[in-house]
Amino acid sequence: MDKNRYDNINSNEFTQKDLMLHLLHVSQHTVTREELKEDISDLKLELNDKIDRLDAKFEKQFEQVDKRFEQVDKRFEQVDKRFEQVDKRFDQIDGEFDKVASKFDKIDTKFEELHKEVKDSKVETIKWMVSMFFANIIAMTGLGFTAFKLFLSN
């Protein structure tokens, strides 16, 4: 509507023809209550239809997201089970390491014992060698077998 067209009308120059044109123009732009109710009803139906389609689209999207979350949850469960297996295997290996460490402790103890025994054996070997040395000297010098026996008994 061109409002400015009617604002500047001079009432002294306003004719019956102008009035009729104005009424015709206004009547063309008015609606009845029934038409308005019908239009509103049509708009509501259209709006509800669009909302229903949008809801269905969102529902489908949410179902896909839920399925994906279920897949992720299953994968996490698999990973958790795998970690449990790894933990058990680690505990087994840790137990094996403890056994090996215990064996190494026993070997170390045996080594210490053998080391002491070898050390003692060296002393005995040296004593024996010295006694043999002196025995040879006694035998060569003719001091006799009795001196050798005395020396060996110590």
The residue ranking higher by pLDDT, 71 or 21, is 71
The pair of three-digit structure tokens given for residue 98, joined into one six-digit string: 């403890």
- For the stretch 40-51, pLDDT in tens is 899 999 999 999
| Phi then psi dihedrals of residue 143, to 5 deg | -75, -20
Rounded-to-integer distance, Cα 99 and Cα 101, Å: 5
Q: Cβ distance 134 to 151 under 8 Å? A: yes
User: In this predicted structure, what is the pLDDT of residue 105?
Assistant: 85
If you average pLDDT over residues 25-52, what whole number do you get?
Answer: 85
The pair of three-digit structure tokens given for residue 57, joined into one six-digit string: 């689209």
User: In this predicted structure, what is the pLDDT of residue 1?
Assistant: 42
- For the stretch 123-135, pLDDT in tens is 777 777 877 777 6
The pair of three-digit structure tokens given for residue 52, joined into one six-digit string: 């229903």
The residue ranking higher by pLDDT, 51 or 116, is 51
If you average pLDDT over residues 113-138, what whole number do you get?
Answer: 75
Q: Can you tell me which residue has the tokens 């698999």?
A: 78
- For the stretch 89-112, pLDDT in tens is 999 999 888 888 888 888 888 878
Rounded-to-integer distance, Cα 85 and Cα 93, Å: 12
Domain ranges of the chain: 1-30, 31-153
User: In this predicted structure, what is the pLDDT of residue 69?
Assistant: 94
